[in-house]
Structure 1
């Protein structure tokens, strides 16, 4: 007896391609009865994690492109990341529509959870060159620790830039900041295309610092000087992170 043919596969739709049902099932409120503003808080931070994933995807590509000296496409991807960072900043406008009382209505349900624990954002910092071995030890599970350990050992975007510049006529000892500064000053004066690549990094760095600053002010606006969730120092800690990822690209400004 012939077997019945398998039923035809369901056609791919917008919802099945994007797994919309799965996505919309991820916003699970901890408050009961539900506090209205908790959904906004969860949505904003889940979207941040999606953008962090995309930023890592793009920055890893930039590192690979610089390894092959594909400067034009590296700049294109850096421009995309800069545009994403603008979106990260604009999301704070939405989060700031939540008043201190509205946040307080569900804050206790966060328990020990804190944005300080975002492994993906630590990965972004590591890729940029802001590496911290202690962050690996603080990671909340083995998978995150493994990713961070790999990022800690891998060349950063800054490492990739200096290696690319060395291969294309601007050598400098990466361990000697003064030598790197001299090389950067010379390329800014004589190699506009290389200088444009460096300016793409400055654009990105400035955008990230803007996001950090806005994050500080949002936290101050929402919880003032209180401790952050998860035992962090809140706004005080965030102010300590207001530093550039590529300090030598900023320090050379006084030499022109």
Structure 2
């Protein structure tokens, strides 16, 4: 006989009750894919980017909570949140593996339907950079047609970044490190902060929480860099050196982004050890 879960108590009727699909609001999610061509691979392209945006939403959720905890000096919960952010970036890396199954000829079948849309215009990606501390105000301009997207980015640029709050923990521990002067500018290497971190790394048992916090940020940026690198190789594999659909120089633009460092003090201190 066929197995019937109801015989073991499983509920099989959900009339008037909340089901799995109801809780997750799956109807709007699963009907949000609208290919603009007849190309088979356009569905892959849409879903890969939509799911990436969902993962970025979760990353922002975790980063915001971690920043609050760090500012309050409650570091242990922040460790878990930052670990989760790194794993989210690992998940985003895996998405490129799926997209790379699409060949140049398959992408060409629907690329024109994208118009000038491009991942370059992802406001959530921009917000991840802003929260981390890479605040290039010129990058807000692609969102100017959507004031409701610009406002949160401008507000973020006026508050201490995740790394600013981390540096605040150094000050709270007695290290002589300056407060960040321009919140709306990318982080620049700071000799005092670098020296403080070097001291932390030379005596991790004494400064264990700061040491662990620094490594959580390095983990996050490590996976973030891999995500950027995989983006470059995926784009080169599929479109070569054509211009990006959003007007950037494509692969050359993405390669320039590889040089952007979110937490320069934490990387440069390694030379001092």
Whether these two folds match at TM > 0.5 is yes
* TM-score using structure 2 length: 0.87
Find out whether 1:156 has 2:172 as its counterpart.
Answer: no
Q: Give the equivalent residue in structure 2 for 1:179.
A: 192
Matches within 5 A, 1:19-38: 19-31=25-37, 34-38=38-42
Q: Give the equivalent residue in structure 2 for 1:103.
A: 107
Tell me how far 1:65 sits from its aligned partner. 0.3
Q: Distance in 2 between matches of 1:159 and 1:225?
A: 37
Tell me how far 1:235 sits from its aligned partner. 0.8
Structure number having the greater helix percentage = 1
Q: Deviations over 1:162-196 (max 9, x none)?
A: 01221133341145811111111112223133111
- Match 1:244 to one of 252, 256, 261: 261
Q: Deviations over 1:62-116 (max 9, x none)?
A: 1100011111111110000111111000110000000000011000000010100
Find out whether 1:87 has 2:104 as its counterpart.
Answer: no
Matches within 5 A, 1:1-256: 10-31=16-37, 34-139=38-143, 140-174=145-179, 177-190=190-203, 191-242=207-258, 243-256=260-273
Q: Distance in 2 between matches of 1:149 and 1:216?
A: 28
Of 109-118 and 145-154, more deviation after overlay is shown by: 145-154
RMSD: 1.3
- 8 Å CA contact 2:169, 2:210 repeated in 1: no
Q: Distance in 1 between matches of 2:209 and 2:151?
A: 37
Q: Distance in 2 between matches of 1:137 and 1:216?
A: 23
* TM-score using structure 1 length: 0.93
The secondary structure found in structure 1 opposite 2:223 is: helix
Structure 2 unmatched runs, 5+: 1-14, 181-188
The secondary structure found in structure 2 opposite 1:163 is: helix
Q: Distance in 2 between matches of 1:82 and 1:207?
A: 6
- 8 Å CA contact 1:174, 1:180 repeated in 2: no
Tell me how far 1:237 sits from its aligned partner. 0.6
Of 166-175 and 118-127, more deviation after overlay is shown by: 166-175
- 8 Å CA contact 2:73, 2:169 repeated in 1: yes
Tell me how far 1:155 sits from its aligned partner. 1.1
Runs of 4+ that moved beyond 2 A: 168-171
- 8 Å CA contact 1:27, 1:43 repeated in 2: yes
- 8 Å CA contact 1:78, 1:204 repeated in 2: yes
- 8 Å CA contact 2:135, 2:157 repeated in 1: yes
The secondary structure found in structure 2 opposite 1:225 is: coil
- 8 Å CA contact 2:75, 2:213 repeated in 1: yes
